[in-house]
Amino acid sequence: MGNLYDKKSLNEIKNSFEKWEKETLQNWLNQVPEREKEFTNLSNIPIKILYTPADLEDFDYNAKLGFPGNYPYTRGIHATMYRARLWTMRMFSGFGGPEETNKRLKFLIEHGETGLSLAFDYPTLIGIDPDDPMAEGEVGIVGVSVPTIEDMKIVFDGINMGQVTTNMTINPPAPVLLSFYVGVAEMQGVPYDKIGGTTQNDPLKEFIAQKSYVFPPEPAVRVSMDLIEWSVKNLPKWNPISVSGYHIREAGSTAVQELAFTIADGIEYVRQLISRGLDVDEFAHRISFFWDSHINFFEEIAKFRAARRMWAKIMKEWFHAKKERSMWMRFHTQTAGVSLTAQQPWNNIIRTTIEAMAAVLGGTQSLHTNSFDEPFRVPSEFAAKIALRTQQIIAYESGIADTIDPLAGSYYVEWLTDEIEEKAWNYIDRIEKLGGMLEAVKKGFPQRELTEASYNYQRQVEEKRKYIVGVNIFEDNQVDEIRNVPLLEFDQAEIERRQISRIRKIRSERDKELWERSLNELRKAAEKDVNLMPYILQAAKAKATLGEIISALKEVFGSYVEPPIY
């Protein structure tokens, strides 16, 4: 059966616990009361003073946990986990033009990162060229400007694309950036079956949280599914989607909401792909996820474990996946940007460390650790290196990675994993009743939950029911400390000029007929029920720019304007 405790022992423990509560505990409380009226985590779940086996009555080890590499994968998706291979240390990076980012990638590789992750600037994220009026002042600030295949080539100058895997955090323009990436890899002589990496490509969370949307919901989902379908058939090592909870969490959701909404997004995508006639085992092994790792240590660990168990169950019972790989929740994690403070910024190193430890104890496949200067700018080399070293110290010094799922069996952690899972299922039920996540997004449900949660949290902070060191407790007004943080410097205006002159040169030198034809064919294809990837690839190779390709699609699909939801 696998039950951890027999009835008789449990009863004895329960009785002893009650005795302890009434006598020992009460004596102590009479002398010194608890320091808060109530202890809650970031999902507002009340946390007790103590957890015992009594909290795990009927806990069936085999059903709930099992073993790593076996269903339901709660303890890990691989049997060896970090004993065989550490998680990928994948630092999210990018700024300025491709030259600057190429240099930064090489720096990080030199210092031991084991996977690449590209951050794009805002114009690239929303699919406009650097000379678009809306791009003015924004080129190269939050990430690298990559409006053409030429720019992608420069990013990977001197980096063998057949030997690295690259995550690209890009959503509506994902097919375009993937086309650039594949095009450059081809130029390097890398065959399609050796091209590895991830495109984030998760439209639903754009409407809920990140808001770098372009097209309205239905066409956005169509484009995204086109990429996935094409990718599973052509790029066997590519993860065409990274279903993301990170942005939902950063936009203010609780851990429970992050878990529920992300999994609901995943469910919607699986349904969409099945409705195209694909068999679930054809694509499910290539679905990956992306979680936040926030500051409440145990809450995050419980969330990761619950996530694995929930997804496995959904793939097996809802979608009848037959292959093991189809049931694995493979994920990348990023430590919570929103938990970092501008006040006393050096403290952020500690926060990132706690969050990174939680991600490792939660069994992540890949990890990005934030730099302490994130509240001000994209990271300096100095700060990025410390963030990378954080992961390396955890991996090589702390012993955390030396055994699998070490917190299993903890009364608190198992109780919390169950609790978070149950609450997430409640949300998923509600979303199912609304007709699934696409419908729920169109109705504004997750968006409303989010604004409510973020407002509540802010009120909690204002009223000191939740603490932030340096912000509402232990503040010290040391402005000089902040002024002295060495920030990354780069000449944004110069980079913008350079990117504009490059793109204008490309536009003037390309084969006009080929270019025009490729865009016309793309527009026509967009009006029909065909996969757009080959057309986008063709346009990319004909030197169409990102802005031109997205504009062509906007003509057919329209642009999204969100409804007012507070």
Partner 1 sequence: MSVSELNLDELLDKASKGNLRSIGKILSYLENPYTMPESLLEKLAKMAGKAHIIGVTGIPGSGKSTLISRLITSLRKRGYKVAVVAIDPSSPISGGALLGDRLRMQEHATDPGVFIRSISSKGLKGGLSLAALTMIEAFDAFGYDKIIIETVGVGQSEVDIMSVANTIVVVTMPGAGDDIQALKAGVMEIGDIYVLNKDDKEEASKTYEYLSFALEKGDIGSSDSNWIPRLIRTSAVMGKGIEDLTQALEDHFNYIKEIGKTKDKLISRRTSMIEMLAEQLLYEGLKLASKEMDDELRLSAERGSHIFNNAIRLAKKSIDYLPESRKD
Partner 2 sequence: MLSLQYTKYQYKVLVAKLGIDGHDRGAKVIARALKDAGFEVIYTGIRQTPEQIVSAALQEDVDVIGVSILSGAHIHHMNKLMEELKNAGAEDIPVVVGGTIPVIDVDELKKIGVKEVFLPGESLNRIVDVVRRLAEEKKKAEK
Q: Which residues in this chain contact partner 2 in the complex, by CB under 8 A?
A: 122-123, 126, 128, 134-138, 141-142, 206, 210-213, 250-252, 341-343, 375-378, 450-451, 454-455, 458-459, 462, 468, 470-472, 479, 482-483, 487, 561-562, 564, 566
Which CB atom, from 66 or from 470, has the smaller least distance to partner 2?
Answer: 470
- Residue 252 interaction partner, one of partner 2, partner 1, none, beta carbon < 5-8 Å per kind: partner 2
Of 63, 52, 66, 56, nearest to 21 (Cα)? 52
**Residue 561 interacts with partner 1 (CB under 8 A): yes or no:** yes
Among partner 2, partner 1, none, the one that 462 touches (CB under a kind-dependent 5 to 8 A) is partner 2
For partner 2, the closer CB: 142 or 514: 142
Q: Residue 2 or 558: which CB sits closer to partner 1?
A: 558
Q: How far apart are CA 252 and CA 455, in angstroms?
A: 8
CA distance 173 to 181: 12
Q: How far is the CB of 342 from partner 1 (least distance, A)?
A: 27
Stretch that binds partner 1, among 52-60, 76-84, 425-433, 555-563 (CB under 8 A): 555-563
Select the binding partner of residue 302 from partner 2, partner 1, none (C-beta < 5 to 8 A, by kind): none
| Minimum distance of partner 2 from residue 56's CB (angstroms) | 37
Q: Give 296's DSSP letter.
A: -
CA distance 243 to 363: 17
Residue 566 binding partner 1, by CB under 8 A: yes
59 token code pair: 């806990």
Helix (H, G, I), strand (E, B) or coil at 396: helix
> What residues have CB less than 8 Å from 363, skipping those under 6 apart?
75, 76, 77, 81, 304, 305, 308, 404, 405
Q: Could you identify the residue written with the tokens 């943080």?
A: 485
**Minimum distance of partner 1 from residue 562's CB (angstroms):** 7
Answer with the entry of partner 2, partner 1, none that 277 interacts with (C-beta below 5 to 8 A by kind).
Answer: none
User: Which of these, 68, 65, 14, 54, lies nearest to 411 by C-alpha position?
Assistant: 54
- Say which residues have a Cβ less than 8 Å from residue 468's Cβ, sequence separation at least 6: 341, 461
Based on the shown chain and the rule CB under 8 A, indicate whether residue 277 belongs to the binding site for partner 1.
no
Shortest Cβ 125–partner 1 spacing (Å): 20
The reply on whether position 558 binds partner 1 by CB under 8 A is: yes
The CB-of-302 to partner 2 minimum distance in angstroms stands at: 24
User: Facing residues of 238 across strands?
Assistant: 197
H helices of 239-292, where? Answer: 246-250, 255-275, 280-283
d(CA 339, CA 461): 12
Among 443, 448, 505, 512, binds partner 1 (CB under 8 A): 443
- 563 near partner 1 (CB under 8 A): yes
Among partner 1, partner 2, none, the one that 483 touches (CB under a kind-dependent 5 to 8 A) is partner 2
Provide the 10 A C-beta neighbour count for residue 310: 22
CB of 218 to partner 1, least distance (A): 8
Which has the closest alpha carbon to 219: 233, 234, 231, 207? 207
- What is the footprint of partner 1 within residues 201-260 (CB under 8 A)? 216
Type of residue at 329: M
By CB under 8 A, tell whether 1 contacts partner 1. Answer: no
Entry field: residues in the chain: 566
- Residue 443, contacted partner among partner 2, partner 1, none, CB below 5-8 A by kind: partner 1
Site string for partner 1, 464-503 (x = CB under 8 A): ----------------------------------------
Rule CB under 8 A: is residue 564 a binding residue for partner 1? yes
Which residues, 6+ apart, have CB-to-CB distance to 308 below 8 Å? 72, 73, 74, 76, 77, 328, 329, 363
Nearest to 331 by CA among 300, 354, 353, 352: 300
Backbone angles phi, psi at 291, to 5 degrees: -110, 160
Closest separation in Å from C-beta 95 to partner 2: 10
Cβ atoms of 142 and 492 within 8 Å: the answer is no
Shortest Cβ distance from residue 15 to partner 2 (Å)? 48
Residues in touch with partner 1 (CB under 8 A): 216, 443, 558, 561-566
